Amino acid sequence: MIRRRSGRGRLLLLVFLALCIVIITLDFREQAGGPLERARNFSLAIVAPIQKGITTVTRPIGDFFSSVGDLSHLRTDNARLRTEIGNLQSQIDQARSVIGENAQLRREMNLSASYVTARRVFAQVDGRVPSNYKWAVFLDKGTQDGIRTDMAVVNADGLVGKIVQATPHTSTVLLLIDPQAGAGARVQGIGDTGVIQGQGGSESLKLSFISPNANVSVGDSVVTSGYDRGIFPPQIPIGSVNHVSVSGAQLEKVITVTPDVNFTSLDVVQVLVGSGPHHHGKHRHGKKSH
Amino acid sequence: MASARSRGGLFPQVGGGRTAAIAAILVGALALQSTVVAQVTLLGVIPQLVLIVVVSLAFTDGPRVGVVTGFAGGLLQDLLLPQAIVGLTALVYVLIAFAVGSFREYSTTESVWAPVIAVALSSFVAEASYALLAVILGQPWVSFVFTTKVIGLVVLYNTLLTPLLFPLIRRVADRFRPERVHRW
């Protein structure tokens, strides 16, 4: 079946091994805006449309199968939801006036804007990165919609992560559970601030740098502090404390946190397009949108 | 990609249509790996479809096509991962493809289990060496239990998927094989 000799095969192996090592070296030395960043954007631009196609086809199929069983509830659900819409509409009207009032008061008091009222772009999750050691997802919106790197991403439950790559029509979110992700955090009701970090596999977060004297107990809620180069606005829900212990040697509390967001079933997320360091005048994203 | 374009010149016997077919298989495998397959697999571990494609092509076509496919597929996968080491998956896949392709040139086995065993062994070596090299080069280490779980499940998933994917890959690759007499 195969009749080629491996003489040139060995030469080819050496050539491609050398090429790999050159690329790895380039990657280690790369600054923002280098050739590898362009290659990253290029490969995302190739794969993203196919991912979107696959997701568009497979999602309705899953929805159909899960809804067939629910047919009998549809009528009662419908009636219940109609009354709920009425209630919510009046609550929205109320909230609108409160938001306006809040914004005015914040201006008068010189407080920074709350994340709740921040400008946001809604995006659909179109798949996760093809690796078992990275926790990140692809979105169907990009720089054309105002998304830039280092912007905060949330959903209805709380903090999801931050944008690490943005091309014109797609972007990548590094999830908070990734070991390389982190955010300034504080335990609600306690002055101490710390850093929340992902731990990968276990999907439980680690809260560090909280002083051992701080009165933290299981069930306390954890929110962003806003003290991290200005990526994450303050008061975004992160999760609730599930375990507290004091490590004797390090003189600090070991706190683990169950995230509010269910990272295995992300669907629609919101990118806070007003957030991120560029918003405060420091441009570090090194990406010229063209 | 530049490597895909230069391949027609490097291997006149491979041909442009075939290059396109292999590139399409790689991109398709990568897209599937990050969407449907990622949603249906258990325990949050996804199979490495690109590795199945690389080993299958090295198995049917020998080390040279394997090395180039391994490089292209591995690099494309690396480029999609945020804050990963670009070129590391490519390096591992190039070595695996060369090993499988060379072994195939010297073995005469016609067993239908040969590609399945090749994928199982390759998956183990590829996953273990990637995990080790990534940590040595400064990537975060989650835990020994987690890495063992990932390696074990990837080997399991890849082995189970090969009887389905190998005939498919061979058929697509064969269809675009120029001027060559081959069996169906």
What are the tens digits of pLDDT across the range B7-44?
Answer: 444 455 566 778 888 888 898 898 888 887 777 666 77
Distance of CA B181 to the CA centre of its chain: 25
Which candidate from B31, B84, B86 shows the least CB-CB separation from A50? Answer: B31
**ipTM metric:** 0.81
**Average model confidence (pLDDT) across chain B:** 84
Is the pLDDT reported for residue A184 higher than 70? yes
How would residue A278 be classed by pLDDT, with cut points 50, 70 and 90?
A: low
> Could you tell me where the beta strands, DSSP code E, fall in chain B?
none
CA atoms within 13 A on the CB side of B132: 7
Q: Which two tokens stand for residue B148?
A: 């063992």
pLDDT value at residue B11: 53
Rounded to whole angstroms, the Cα distance separating A154 from A168 reads 21
Rounded to whole angstroms, the Cα distance separating A101 from A107 reads 10
In the stretch 116-145 of chain B, residues with CB closer than 8 A to chain A read 131, 134, 137, 139-140, 142-143
Rounded to the nearest 10°, the torsion over CA A84, A86, A88, A89 is 160
By C-alpha distance, the chain B residue nearest A38 is: B79
> CA Rg, chain A, in Å?
23
Interchain CB distance below 8 Å, B80 and A19: no
Q: How many CB atoms lie within 10 A of CB B63?
A: 27
> CA Rg, chain B, in Å?
16
SS3 content of chain B, % helix, strand, coil (to 5): 75, 0, 25
Specify the range with the lowest mean pLDDT, choosing from A205-209, B47-51, B108-112. B108-112
Minimum distance, in Å, between the CA of residue B27 and any CA atom of chain A:
7
Residue A23, helix vs strand vs coil: helix
pTM exceeds 0.95, yes or no: no
Q: Is B154 exposed, middle or buried (0-12, 13-18, 19+ CB in 10 A)?
A: buried
pLDDT value at residue A248: 66
Using a CB cutoff of 8 Å and minimum separation of 24, what contacts does A72-76 make? none
Degrees to nearest 5, angle at CA B173 with A17 and B61: 45
Residue A15, helix vs strand vs coil: helix
**Over residues A240-248, mean pLDDT:** 83
How would residue B163 be classed by pLDDT, with cut points 50, 70 and 90?
A: very high
**Over residues A114-129, mean pLDDT:** 84
Reported as type and span, the H/E element at residue A71 is none
The distance in angstroms from the start CA to the end CA of chain A is 49
pLDDT value at residue B62: 87
Interchain CB distance below 8 Å, B105 and A2: yes
Cβ-based contacts under 8 A for chains A and B: 167
| CB contacts, 8 Å: B156 with chain A | none
Is the pLDDT reported for residue B116 higher than 60? yes
Interchain CB distance below 8 Å, B86 and A17: no
Interchain CB distance below 8 Å, B63 and A12: yes
Tell me the per-residue pLDDT of A142-178, one tens digit each, with 9 for 90 and over.
Answer: 999 999 988 999 998 999 999 999 999 999 999 999 9
